[in-house]
Amino acid sequence: MNLQAKADKIGLYCHVPFCASTCDFCAFYQEKPRRQDIQRYFDCIEQELLKSGITRDIDTIFWGGGTPGLLAAKDLERLGKAVQAVCRGPVEEWTVEMAPSVVKLDKLKVLKDLGVTRISMGVQSFNPKLLESLGRLHAPNQIFQALERIQQVGFDAVNLDLIFSIPGQTWELLEEDLKQATTLGVDHLSTYCLTFEEDTALYVKLSEGKITRDEDQEIDLYKRTWAYLEEAGYAQYEVSNFARPGKECLHNINTWKMHEWLGVGPSASSQIDGFRFTNASDLSAWQEGVEQGKPAYQERVPLDDTILATDTLIFGLRMNQGVCLNRLKERYPKMNWACFNAFWEDLEAEGLLTRQSGLITLTQEGRLLADWIGTQLLDLNT
């Protein structure tokens, strides 16, 4: 699909903030699932979608959280109908996040009937002790039961999320998780290095010295994981994401390439019509804003070529295909591209980046430093 054709379509992200418990590593906005709050949430989501004024086709949908799969089947159907009401044509990909403990057949059948194509399940680990250390509620047997139900109903793609570099996790334990995941017949795997976000239980434990972080081990686990999954037939297409042919997550790719999307629900972010904005990370504030017709944003930033070009580079270089500078220069002509020239030369000299016919791609060593490279790119254009 060419850029102009893609520009005519948008993605839709829907944040479902309800979660039964907060995992020790999680920093996403969430609320306990109280029935009165859920009812008001749906009333406001329906209003927010209708008031959004969407006039373009939606080609990808993503429900994240929280735990969208925590909702009852009838609630999932109501949310799905609200989304369908603003879709002008067929949706190419529709993803819903679920936790193993809440995967039930009646929910899956509703999702399938709505047109959901992809289930993304947060597994994190198959090891009960590691799951406990992360504050996860599910047990390994629930993972297998959930996956069996998902495959029984039949979706176009299934993704499992894994976390590595968990305190106490050796390569042998991670290898067991990877072995379990790759033998289950799923199409896509996301493997995330454990991060210690502020205001999380894990961050408190780290700051108190109850757990430690070993960055050398993190690098080793990155490399071993990438090699293992390549051998198992999963191609890496982004630092943390691997897929069998044709099973990449289109919604995420569109976001990384800085195409436009609308976010609805508390804490949901949007990038559309020249602005990037984030809804209030507060259920009541968001609801009041929707009900009064005055959206409550925690930030709203006008976009220009400098912001978009830099972000396209940062996220594009995380992808194995890299970025084509010639195309980006056409897309963002007002960007001061010369400010990066010396940086590209330095990265290339250090073996972190390759350049060929305008295409720049990070090497494996470069992808290991993708976060640092992104920080440097931000600093160079300010």
Alpha-carbon distance of 62 to 77, in angstroms, equals 15
Q: Which stretches of the chain are DSSP H helices?
A: 3-7, 35-51, 73-84, 105-114, 128-134, 140-153, 171-182, 201-207, 215-231, 250-256, 283-292, 305-316, 325-331, 341-349, 364-368, 370-380
Predicted local confidence at residue 25, as pLDDT: 44
The pLDDT value given to residue 345: 97
Q: What is the pLDDT of residue 49?
A: 95
Of the candidate CATH numbers 3.40.50.300, 3.40.190.10, 1.10.10.920, 3.30.390.50, the domain formed by 305-380 belongs to: 1.10.10.920
What is the model's pLDDT at position 264? Answer: 97
Q: What is the pLDDT of residue 201?
A: 54
Look at residue 27 in the predicted model and tell me its pLDDT.
Answer: 45
The tens-digit pLDDT sequence of the chain (382 residues) is: 333 445 589 999 999 988 765 444 444 455 555 777 888 999 999 999 999 888 899 999 999 987 898 899 999 999 999 999 999 889 999 999 999 989 999 999 999 999 999 999 999 999 988 888 777 667 888 999 999 999 999 999 999 999 998 888 899 999 999 999 999 989 999 999 887 455 655 545 545 555 556 788 889 999 999 999 999 999 999 999 999 999 999 999 999 999 999 999 999 999 999 999 999 989 999 999 999 999 999 889 999 999 999 999 999 999 999 999 999 999 999 999 999 999 999 999 999 999 998 899 999 999 999 999 999 999 997 7
Domain-by-domain residue ranges, the chain? 3-256, 305-380
The confidence score (pLDDT) of residue 196 equals 47
Q: According to the model, what pLDDT value does residue 198 have?
A: 52
Looking at residue 136, its pLDDT comes to 64
CATH 3.80.30.20 assigned to 3-256: yes
CA distance 34 to 16: 13
What tokens does 41 get?
A: 């949430």
pLDDT reported for residue 206? 47
> What pLDDT, on the 0 to 100 scale, is given for residue 36?
79
Q: What amino acid is encoded at 208 in this protein?
A: E
